[in-house]
Every structure is written in C-alpha cells, then in structure tokens.
Amino acid sequence: MAIVYAVNAMAGVAALLILLAAYASRIPQAGLDWVELERRAPSRLFLGESGRVVVVVNNTGRLPVTWLSITDLVPFDLATEPLRWVTSLASGESRRAEYQIVGRKRGAYRLGPSTMVSGDVFGWRPAQRSVSTGPGVIVYPRIVPLHQLGLPAISPFPELRTPLPLHEDPTRIVGVRPYQSSDSARRIHWTASAHQGSLLVTRLQYGFARETMVLLDLSREGMGTRSRPIELAVTAAASILHHIVTRERLAAGLRSGAVHIDPASDDIHLMAMLEVLAVAGAHEIPPARLLEPVGLPYGSTLILITRRLATDVIERVHILRRRGWRPIVVVVDGEKPELAGIRVWEIVDDRSLVGVGL
C-alpha cells in the first residue's frame, strides 16, 4: 500500500516492521546458539547432606542476549527449589546462579536437562534450546554408629591373637617396657616414664588381621519386596563396612548380588563399596550364591545380612564354619534364628535408622 499510494511514512513503518520480524525470527535463535552453560555440582553426598550447584552461562557471540530464562530440572529426591532464573548477557559476558540440593534418598542421579529460552525485546518469537543432563551425583547410604543398630561397638570383628610377631596391634596395649633405640618416639608412654624416671614405651599385643566380607542379601527370597527392610539392610552394611575400615583399620570387602569387591582397608576402597550400596536394590539372585566359597578369602569373617534364612542357606553357613571361615548372621527386621556355634545379631525396624525421604 505504501508503494501503491506512495506514502513515505507508511513505507517507513512497513520497512521497520519487516526488519523487526526478521530480527525476531533470526537473531534470538542465533544469539542463543552462542550461549554456553556450565553446571558445577558435588559428585558425592551423604544421606541428608546438602550441596551447592553453580550454573554459569557465558555469551561467546558478538550479539547481546536481551533476555535469557533458564530452568534447571533437578531429580525429586535431590530437589529443594528448582532453578528458575532470568538474566541478560552482553557480548562476552558471564553470569552465574546458585541453588542447593539435598541428598534425601540414596542413589545415583543426574542433574538437568536445562532449558534456555530467549527472544526479542517484544517477545514475538521466543527461541528455545535444551542443554543435556549435567554431572552425576551419588548419594551414599546412611552411616550410623553400630550401637544404634544394636551391634557391639567395641571391636565386634576382632583380630586373632598369635604368638608369632607378624605385627603389633596399636589398639591393644598390654603394658610398658624400657625404651630401645629402634623404638619410635610416638610409642613413648610419657606418664609412665615420668613416674619411673626413665623412658618407657607401650608394649602391644601381637596379632594378625582377619579379613571381613559383608554378604548383603537383597534377593526377593531372602529380603522380600518391602523397601524399608532393604534400606535398613543397606544402612547396616554401610555402617559395618565404615566401622571396620575407619575405626578398626582392618580390611573389608563386599558381596551383593552379582557384585564382588575383595577386602582392602583404604578409604578409596570404602568409597567404592559405598557407591555400590548407593544403587543396590532388590534382585532375583538366590541368597545361597552369596555363600559360595569361591572368591571368599580363606579364614575370613563372613557377615551375612539378611531378613530370613532358608534351610539351604543355614546348611551353607554351617559348612563354611566347618571349613575354616567365621560366619556371623545379622537378621534385619525378621525372626532371629538359633544357630549352634554361630553368632546371630538382630536389627529391628527403626524409622530413625533408614534416613530421609522414606
């Protein structure tokens, strides 16, 4: 109409509208393609622990982003408040936002995806882009002191005494003796030395460490399908392993379902076992498979955690005992059996032991 009627003002308005339409259809999407999003989050959390997630956006293009809306999806068992953030970015500018996550339930999770929405100043043609899932977050099972589980908290899995000086146990002091030049200064008993008037060092009991294997039965045959006994069994396994490795400084391993981890006594090994327990769930592998001697260190302590013992499982426990292993049975929320010559502990269902979100 501007051309037909030669109205310059109308032609100017028409040209402006055409330019704005072209801008609204092309520029926002082009600018959004140059926006980079980075998410920084803790890779590990303990049950009930909170962590901070940092979202950083950077405009690497030459065009400004007049407005940018970001929504970051968070798994329900980690969520506090989902991130909904609106900002703007000049060329080369970076901005950041933070939010918290809480480990409400053990497991392995992925943060994201994030949805970024931008557009022109009039909001005619919004552009949208999705950023794939971010880093993984593992929530470890709850760890509680053994006395809360009803288990003995002082050396429940002791070392064996031996007359052969394989190594001295620093936790078992049996007396003092005169200081020798080869003794470490850390072993000097200063109180006794002050009373005696000469240097004395602690005398330790000799022993050798008995390795421990935790056999966690999460089969439907041994544990059933209820979630609370499963969570209680996982809590018990994590607490026992943590106590053995960090308090007793002894080697411990884990067997659950198809997973087998040989005994070791370092913290990295403990974290690997806790990661397995973080994602452990019910399965169909029969509990008798846990008690197969192949792969079990000979003479080790075997701690079987289950809810109910079938006849074939009881038979295998007695066979392992006769062949040189030391089996211990931990019954979780079930009927405590009487097994001749075998120590049996019982853990009753307690809501305070399982953790957040259940």
Question: Hey, what are 135's tokens?
Answer: 């880093």
Q: Which of 78-82, 142-146, 279-283, 317-321 has the lowest mean pLDDT?
A: 78-82
CATH number at residue 257: 3.40.50.410
Q: Does residue 97 sit within a domain?
A: yes
Same structural domain for residues 261 and 313? Answer: yes
State the pLDDT at residue 162.
41
Q: Does residue 16 sit within a domain?
A: no
Task: Give the pLDDT mean for 316-341.
Answer: 88
Same structural domain for residues 111 and 129? Answer: yes
Phi and psi at residue 227, to the nearest 5°: -75, -35
Same structural domain for residues 214 and 348? Answer: yes
Same structural domain for residues 348 and 233? Answer: yes
State the pLDDT at residue 30.
65
Cα distance between residue 180 and residue 193, in whole Å: 13
Q: Does residue 291 sit within a domain?
A: yes
Same structural domain for residues 236 and 262? Answer: yes
Same structural domain for residues 224 and 333? Answer: yes
- Band (pLDDT 50/70/90 cuts) for residue 349 is low
Cα distance between residue 58 and residue 150, in whole Å: 53
- Band (pLDDT 50/70/90 cuts) for residue 18 is confident
- Band (pLDDT 50/70/90 cuts) for residue 358 is very low
Q: Does residue 3 sit within a domain?
A: no
State the pLDDT at residue 273.
96
Cα distance between residue 159 and residue 112, in whole Å: 48
Same structural domain for residues 114 and 57? Answer: yes
Same structural domain for residues 120 and 184? Answer: no
Query: Does residue 119 or residue 277 have the better pLDDT?
Result: 277
Cβ-Cβ contacts under 8 Å for 281 (sequence gap 6 or more):
218, 230
User: Packing angle between helix 267-278 and helix 227-242, nearest 10 degrees?
Assistant: 180
CATH number at residue 36: 2.60.40.10
Task: Give the pLDDT mean for 193-212.
Answer: 74
- Band (pLDDT 50/70/90 cuts) for residue 29 is low
Q: Does residue 276 sit within a domain?
A: yes
Same structural domain for residues 36 and 153? Answer: no
Query: Does residue 183 or residue 178 have the better pLDDT?
Result: 178
Residue 199 pLDDT exceeds 80: yes
pLDDT 10s digits, 97-126: 999 999 999 999 998 888 898 876 666 667
Residue of 268, 274, 36, 50 whose CA lies nearest to 134: 36
State the pLDDT at residue 278.
95
Same structural domain for residues 290 and 341? Answer: yes
- Band (pLDDT 50/70/90 cuts) for residue 193 is confident
SS (H, E, C) the chain: CHHHHCCHHHHHHHHHHHHHHHHHHHHHHHHHHCEEEEEECCCEEECCCEEEEEEEEEECCCCCEEEEEEEECCCCCCCCCCEEEEEEECCCCEEEEEEEEECCCCEEEECCCEEEEECCCCCCCCEEEEECCCCEEEEECCCCCHHHHCCCCCCCCCCEECCCCCEEEEEEEEEEEECCCCCCHHHECHHHHHHHCCCEEEEEEEEECCCEEEEECCEHHHHCCCHHHHHHHHHHHHHHHHHHHHHCCCCEEEEECCEEEEEECCHHHHHHHHHHHHCCCCECCCHHHHHCCCCCCCCCEEEEEECCCCHHHHHHHHHHHHCCCEEEEEEECCCCCCCCCCEEEEECCCHHHHCCCC
| Domain that includes residue 244, residue range | 146-159+209-354
Q: Does residue 14 sit within a domain?
A: no
In the chain, the number of structural domains is 3
Same structural domain for residues 294 and 155? Answer: yes
Cα distance between residue 118 and residue 125, in whole Å: 9
Q: Does residue 19 sit within a domain?
A: no
Same structural domain for residues 56 and 101? Answer: yes
Q: Does residue 239 sit within a domain?
A: yes
